[in-house]
Chains A and B, each alone.
Chain A
Amino acid sequence: MILFDFEHESSPSAEAAVARLNEVSEETRFLAGGTDLIPNMRIGITKPERLISLTSIPYAPPTLDAKGWLEIDALTKLSEIEHSKLVGDAAPMLAASAHSVAGNQIRQVATLGGNLCQETRCLYLNQKHDFQFVEPCFKRGGDCCYPFPKNKKNVCWSVYMSDIAPVLMALNAEVSVLGAGGEVRLPIAALFTGDGLRPHTLNPGELIRRIHIPPAPSHFGWGYHKSTVRGGLEFATALMAVALEVKAGGLVCSDARIAIGAVNEGPVRLDKTEAAMRGLELNPANLRMLADQASQEVNPLPHHGFSKPYLRDNIRVHLKRTLSLAVERAGKGLKENRS
């Protein structure tokens, strides 16, 4: 049971939901799968007075548009993405990341848009504040960051844990956001502020409507790794997504994108390492050098008991393997290989 009352209504369409949210005066949230929002309401991180449910809005299955871009409705369930043949063929890294989210029961109801809009996490924040952890931190309107008491005012080191956002960043995806003024299309990176207190740039009354993924070029390779302790039903310790292209007939990198997730307040691109990769032959010695460089470029927040040096080491080791896998796939020229 949630320990406070709230109103609940269903919306027949995304446009109606946005119009309704802009019309009501009380604090209102959209409800899709609810696998992040409902537990957060249970422990009191958020206390909306009204929920507008999006679950009865019909949505189309993933499609390819005229230019070959993969279009996925934000209300698509993660289990549908995981099992979609089209997604598996056109963007296997996205299917792999959807497959790695939480557990089966959660993937049955959790949506793609909801996964991107999830709240940041921190061991202190994600506690019910009724017994031991009673003092509110900055994120709950308090005046101290209790896990990191030396933090300056309103600096929140909570971590953004989406498994899918780094993949979409590596794939150069775009996102359509529906607001009161209509729909705008943005690069996925524009969704994130990098601020733990307010991790998304979306305003109240704005809604992610669909995701667009460009077609993979030839000689494209991808690698995805989610470091976890148990291997299932878990948020990531660190998460890496690699998308690269090699020049025909060799292993010289012509373009690369590396996104790291679950170690900062938002997903991060490794610009310097990407720049160093371009024009470089991706042999094992160079991959090791790139992974070393990447682990120094990323600046992980200590989270959930993992220290900064450990997270750097984790990224160094697993990014090397992820890069090798991506190079192997690119070398084969396969676009459709799945892990």
Chain B
Amino acid sequence: MRDATAKARPAPRLITLTINGEVREVMVRPRIMLLEVIRDHVGLTGTKDGCESGTCGACTVLLNGKPVLSCITLAVECDGKTVETVESLSEGGKLGDLQEAFLDQGATQCGFCTPGILMSAKALLKNNPKPSLPEIKKALEGNLCRCTGYNAIVDAILQVSDQGVAPLMK
């Protein structure tokens, strides 16, 4: 027998997230994704909403330091966790080294996939400051880019990790 409360709408729940060092409290229902909290509730629209099915990697953020797809991560599962988005890479309006390297190599065209790729690259470089070419390709396999052909992106990561790739644009 189904009890009378089973069909009632689940109540919103208060969750606490530390997003880019700032503690945020948001009320969410279980069906809300982390991506919606970041973009719609908190207003950090750098993280992009691409395929919504965990396929393109545009929504990649770091959850407790690990790259995850925020479009298939329930917000209620992230209660008490630390989130880093692409906005964390720049400080006081000045781009970070990784972002500068992307600019130097022309590693962005339409730019929609770039926030996700930057966060995947950040996770890679944190654990592996001098990644090899296959390691870079493996780390970025979950990020699709339809413009650049990837070579410039790989070059940007080689440049920022100081592996003999010179800036193109300077």
Using CB atoms and an 8 Å cutoff, list the residues of chain A in contact with chain B. Answer: 1-8, 25-26, 31, 34-35, 38-39, 42-43, 49, 51, 53, 55, 102-106, 108-109, 231-233
Contacts and interface: CB of A to CB of B under 8 A. Distances in A.
Contacts of B76: 8
B52 interface: yes
Contact of A5 (B31, B120, B138, B141): B31
A105 B36 CA distance: 18
Main secondary structure of the interface of B (DSSP, over half): loop
A39 B67 contact: no
A34 B3 contact: no
Given A233-B142, A233-B144, A109 B29 contact: no
B56 to A, nearest CB: 9
Nearest to B124: A104
Given A25-B2, A55-B77, A232-B141, A108 B31 contact: no
A2 B35 CA distance: 12
17 contacts: A1-B33, A4-B31, A5-B10, A7-B10, A7-B30, A26-B6, A31-B74, A34-B73, A35-B72, A39-B54, A42-B72, A103-B57, A104-B139, A105-B54, A105-B120, A108-B67, A232-B138
B120 A104 contact: yes
B32 interface: yes
Nearest to B29: A5
A26 to B, nearest CB: 5
A45 B137 CA distance: 32
Given A7-B30, A43-B53, A109-B68, 4 more contacts: A2-B33, A231-B141, A233-B141, A233-B142
A102 to B, nearest CB: 7
B142 A104 contact: yes
A25 B1 contact: yes
B72 A34 contact: yes
Given A104-B142, A105-B120, A106-B54, A25 B3 contact: yes
B72 to A, nearest CB: 4
Given A104-B141, A106-B142, A233-B141, A26 B31 contact: no
Contacts of A26: 2, 6
B96 to A, nearest CB: 20
Nearest to A232: B141
A3 B139 CA distance: 32
A199 B3 CA distance: 31
A49 B73 contact: no
B67 A38 contact: no
B138 A104 contact: yes
Given A35-B54, A105-B57, A233-B142, A6 B72 contact: no
B66 A8 contact: no
Contacts of B144: 233
Nearest to B55: A233
